[in-house]
A and B are shown apart, each in its own frame.
Chain A
Amino acid sequence: MTRRNRHHERAERDGEHDEPRVADGGHERPADTDGGHERSPTPLEDVGAVGRAFRVEELPPLSSVARWFVTTNHKDVGVLYVVTSLFFLVFGGVLALLMRAELWTPAADLLGANAYNQAVSIHGMVMVFWFLSPLAFGFANYMVPLQIGAEDLAFPRLNALSYWFYLFSGLLLGASFFQEGAFSGGWTMYAPLNVPVYTPELGATTTVLALLLFVASITVSSVNFLTTMHRMRAPGLTLRKLPLFTWTILLTVWMMLFAFAALGAALVILTSDRVLGTTYFAAETAGGSLLWAHLFWFFGHPEVYIVFFPALGVMAEIFQTFSGRRLVGRKWFILAMVLVALQSFAVWMHHMFLTSINLQVKTLFMITTIGISLPFDLMVFALIYTLVKGKVRFETPFLFAFGALALFILGGITGVFLGAVVLDYEFRGTYWVVAHFHYVMVGGVTGLVGGLYYWFPKMTGRMYDETLGKLHFALYFVGFNLLYFPMFVAWETPRRVFVYDVSLLPWHQLSTVGGFLLGASFLVMFYNLTRSLWAGDRVEGNPWDYTTTAEWAVPSPPPLENYPEGTPTYARGKLEFLAPSAVRSLGRTGADGGTDEASTPSTDGGTVVRDRSSAPVVPETDFDEGGHDEHHASHASPWPFVVGVAAFFALLGLSGVNEGGLYLVLLAVGLLLGTVGFVAFGLEPFHVPEMVAAERWPFAGVENAKLGVWIFLASDVVLFGAFVGSYAFIRVAFGWTAWEPVPHDPFPGLVNTYLLLTSSFAVVLALVAAKRRSRAGLVGSLVVTFLLGVAFLVNKAVEWQELFHEGLTLSTGVRTSTFYLTTGLHAAHVVVGLLILLYLIARALRGGYLDDDRPVEYFGLYWHFVDIVWLFLFPLFYIF
């Protein structure tokens, strides 16, 4: 019997696919879904038949192109992220080389002003957004589930959706060059340069929309990773024992969840300014320019750590493996990272020392900024001391990790200068800043390149060429320092300007030589990795000594299901694999399948294993038979790709919606395709991995889907918070009490409050009816909720119509802009809720939710949240 057949036979015996169930709080319930529905009892069979029409039955083999369009498997998605991010590295790198070529002489003689500005702006965006983080998240996608002992991420299709949003956002960015030119106001998009008066090109709007789609990708991804890492850790794998790379990803996604919500708010407002004509960031708006800086840097400074933390995790893993030594001060290292993650949200105004913010707040943020360097000092010393105590092997991954540390130290020290107000007055806007952040950011890249070499054999089953790897490092390190160090010397060069003082010529020419050398070093890497993919030595399991993490406990590349022959557990203090029957027994012992952390022995104080024989044991399986290429229908779905394509068309159409014509067609096609994609997404039956027994702190007792909804809502709190904060900020700048509410009469707002409160109550009744198995009550309550939501929108439309007639439009001034946009964003949430309601009503009419009311409950969480937001918008916009 082949392994594949054995697996399917076992799956059928265990009911793994037909009746997925999970212990939750002692009650057996059907397993979670990520928007789709599981095979359900008879009342829904007709819906199931529709759903089956949308289903891809077989995951195509790895050699098939189709596989890469339908896969949802975390390892496939990880590979897609890595490959795509390397494509964007080339894209951003070519732009950088164009800039360096322009700077070969002090005159503007190659690109011209606008082309240079576009190259600078898009280079920065591509490298920060589309290359650095996605490369890290390629590794995270691939390694985190393996490291925590999960079969996949909590919501595999949402993971694929994140990837497609990422890819299409990058393609949208590329398309912006062909719409009169891409955005040219710098990667920070400072106001008022970001409004059409200064950057009128359609492509500039597309750039903003591309970034908005990227934010959507990040948000979906954050929800997915947080749910996975908090709910799907192998028994015994407490947070304290998490591998360091997974720790850094955990902190990164927490930062991403909140930081990107603020950026999302800024981008929605900017899109509105560019497309709808609101005036938040117009030059004449009181506080408009500062508002952008606050919103952008509230995101932007955590973004530095969002970019750097995964590289730090890679460095820590590599240092341990190649020194044969557990990280010195591991728990202090983790604590320092937690501190930095928290502090990262309290330092953003050091980017605004040259603005008109008051001296008190500058002083406060100088203190917090200098303070954030202290935990980093601890981390750096922990890494150095680990090497001192260990026995270092200078192989390619270590060289890059060590190089990253050296570069980061220099980048960190030069950054402290910028944290001091008085020095910042001198250095701001010069090449000192450029050199500093490249030492930090590209220092991070250096660590991630080390990760690429480190995990290449794991991901491909082949070994790269060590000599070429070392040659790459030598060229890279020399090229890097030749490129960026002269910028410290020529620091007086103004940033983002294509001409400079002729006395600085030698330093800039040195930089240009370094830039081309750095670029050439990547050609060596691409050649090495591509050739090794086909002709490298085969790696059966673990090519490295002293590894400690679980991904090395499975063959290379890992099988599709990660751990098909046994579920990983750390319950006895070390990695072991349990048979399915033992896992089920374990799952029944604890509430929610969790285990008692206090009763499990700690491995945190243990030592690194000394050799391969004592590394986590690779189960004896015949993976070659199926390996990574094993077929499993549950891993395939075409709908994330379809929704990604729809987003591309819709946003491209939106960029030129005021032009009409083709853009309107694109918008319509995108919206139609998106509707089809989402409905099919919801109807498609899809098996979602669920762990019977797992560590789930601190969210034991909260199912995966419910936790996902709550995490999303926490991000939405920041989104709305940033909107309300923007409104408050502009009112303060305007003079709070001099500001009159736009509606003359609070009565329409009060009526809408009544409508929403009543609709919230109706959702509560719907859930009560579902629990009582009353189909009529459920359908009736949902229909009432829908009608009340529609009434809310109609009332709002009538109110807006009257205001428009009075000449109070979105463009009248910032007072009307804030009113229409903030309440409009809320109305958009209501519209999304109504669309979900239509879906729920259609299924409820066919008998849905009487056996499983969770979708109604989860919708209620969203709808009540929308209600809560209105409870604050009403007094702020109608009474005061």
Chain B
Amino acid sequence: MSRLRLYVAIYVVLFAFATMQVFVEGLGLSYWTGFWAVIGLSAVKALLVAGYYQHLRFEPRSLSYLMLVGLTAAVVLTAAAAYSIS
């Protein structure tokens, strides 16, 4: 598959996943199952954009780690803060 075709395929997947997210509510899932399903779809979309459109998959791994450190800091702050009042 040429690089351009790959980009087009990813765009189609992103478009489809975005549409699916809105209709998850109608599937009759419990609140938290639906919530994590939708967040999971967002995570997959984000990985596709970062991996292919931002070319992280083809860059030195250290750049991915750099972004993961930032993400970890944000998650630690959010999770610990939320837990502190739970």
Residues 1-41 of B, flagged 1 when their CB comes within 8 A of A and 0 if not, give 00110011001001100110110110000010011001100
One of A290, A725, A761, A875 near B21 (C-beta < 8 A): A875
Contacts of A746 in B (CB 8 A): 22
B75: nearest residue on chain A (CB-CB)?
A721
Q: A879 to B25, Cβ gap below 8 A?
A: yes
> Which residues of chain A (714-756) have a CB below 8 Å from chain B?
714-718, 720-722, 724-725, 728-729, 732-733, 737, 746-747, 750, 753-754
Task: Judge whether B81 and A711 touch: CB under 8 Å.
Answer: no
Q: Which of B3, B82, B85 has the most CB of A within 10 A?
A: B85
CA distance A564 to B24 in the complex (A): 64
Distance between A67 CB and nearest chain B CB, rounded to angstroms: 36
A residues within 8 A CB of B67?
Answer: 710, 713-714, 717
- A746 vs B21: C-alpha distance in the bound complex, in angstroms? 10
Chain A nearest Cβ from B54, distance in angstroms: 5
Residues of B within 8 A of A750 (CB): 18-19, 21-22
A347 to nearest B CB, angstroms? 11
Residues of chain A with a CB closer than 8 A to B19's CB? 750
Among B46, B70, B76, B84, which residue has its beta carbon within 8 angstroms of that of A346?
B76
- Does A43 sit at the interface, judged by CB under 8 A? no
Asked if A357 contacts B84 (CB within 8 A), the reply is: yes
- Cα A760 to Cα B54 with chains together (Å): 10
Could you tell me the distance in whole angstroms from the C-beta of A27 to the nearest C-beta in chain B? 15
B53 touches A764 (CB 8 A): yes
A627 to B19, CA, bound (A): 65
Best-surrounded residue of B74, B75, B84 (most CB of chain A within 10 A): B84
Identity of the chain A residue whose Cβ is nearest the Cβ of B32 in the assembled complex: A737
Given contacts A710-B63, A717-B74, A860-B54, contact A879 B38 (CB under 8 A): yes
> What residue in chain A is nearest B50 (Cβ atoms)?
A868
Residues of A within 8 A of B70 (CB): 258, 261, 713-718, 721
Task: Kindly state whether residue A53 has any CB partner on chain B within 8 Å.
Answer: no
CB of A605 within 8 Å of the partner chain: no
Max chain A Cβ within 10 angstroms of own Cβ: one of B7, B18, B74: B74
From residue A292, how far is it (CB to closest CB) to chain B in Å?
11
Residues of A within 8 A of B82 (CB): 725, 728-729, 732
| Contacts of A831-880 to chain B: CB distance below 8 A | 860-861, 864-865, 867-868, 871-872, 874-875, 879-880
Q: Are A349 and B38 in contact (CB under 8 A)?
A: no
Asked if residues A722 and B77 are in contact (CB atoms below 8 Å), the reply is: yes
A573, CB-defined interface residue at 8 Å: no
In Å, the complex CA distance between A867 and B8 comes to: 16
Q: List, in ascending order, chain A residues with CB within 8 A of B8's CB.
A: 761
B76 shortest CB reach to chain A, Å: 7
Per the bound structure, the CA–CA distance linking A345 and B80 in Å amounts to 11
Closest to A345 in B: B73
CA A768 – CA B19 in complex, angstroms? 27
Q: Specify which chain A residues have a CB less than 8 angstroms from the CB of B22 in the assembled complex.
A: 746-747, 750, 879
Q: How far is the CA of A290 from the CA of B78 in the complex (A)?
A: 13
Q: Please name all residues of chain A whose beta carbon is closer than 8 Å to the beta carbon of B69 when the two chains form the complex.
A: 258, 714
- B56-86: which residues lie under 8 A (CB-CB) from chain A? 59-60, 62-63, 66-67, 69-71, 73-78, 80-86
The answer to whether A754 and B76 have CB atoms under 8 Å apart is: no
Contact of B59 among A702, A715, A867, A872 (CB under 8 A): A702
- Tell me if A192 counts as interface (CB < 8 A to partner B): no
Give the Cβ gap from B49 to chain A, nearest Cβ, in Å: 5
Interface: A233 (CB within 8 A): no
Is B50 touching A864 in the complex (CB atoms < 8 A)?
A: yes
Nearest A-chain residue to B37, judged by Cβ: A875
Contact partner, A879, options B21, B59, B83, Cβ 8 Å: B21
Provide the residues of chain A in CB contact with B77, threshold 8 Å: 262, 294-295, 298, 721-722, 725
A714 x B66 contact (CB < 8 A) = yes
Interface 1/0s, chain A 673-715, versus B by CB < 8 A? 0000000000000000000000000111110000100110111
Which residue on A lies nearest to B66, using beta carbons?
A714
Instruction: Assess whether A757 is interfacial by the CB under 8 Å rule.
Output: yes
B-chain residues with CB within 8 Å of residue A715 when the two chains form the complex: 70
Instruction: Please give me the residue from chain B that is nearest to A879 by CB atom.
Output: B38
A702 touches B85 (CB 8 A): no
Q: Please, could you name 30 A-B residue pairs with CB atoms under 8 Å apart, sorted by A?
A: A290-B85, A291-B81, A358-B83, A358-B86, A361-B83, A699-B62, A699-B63, A707-B63, A714-B70, A716-B70, A721-B74, A725-B81, A728-B78, A729-B81, A729-B82, A732-B82, A737-B31, A747-B22, A750-B18, A763-B53, A864-B49, A867-B49, A871-B18, A871-B42, A871-B45, A871-B46, A871-B49, A874-B21, A875-B42, A879-B24
Q: Which residues of B contact A (CB under 8 A)?
A: 3-4, 7-8, 11, 14-15, 18-19, 21-22, 24-25, 31, 34-35, 38-39, 42, 45-46, 49-50, 53-54, 59-60, 62-63, 66-67, 69-71, 73-78, 80-86
5 residue pairs, one from A and one from B, having the closest CB atoms:
A721-B74, A725-B78, A717-B70, A714-B70, A357-B84
Given A724-B78, A732-B86, A880-B34: 8 more A-B contacts, CB < 8 Å: A258-B69, A352-B84, A357-B85, A724-B74, A750-B22, A864-B50, A864-B54, A872-B42
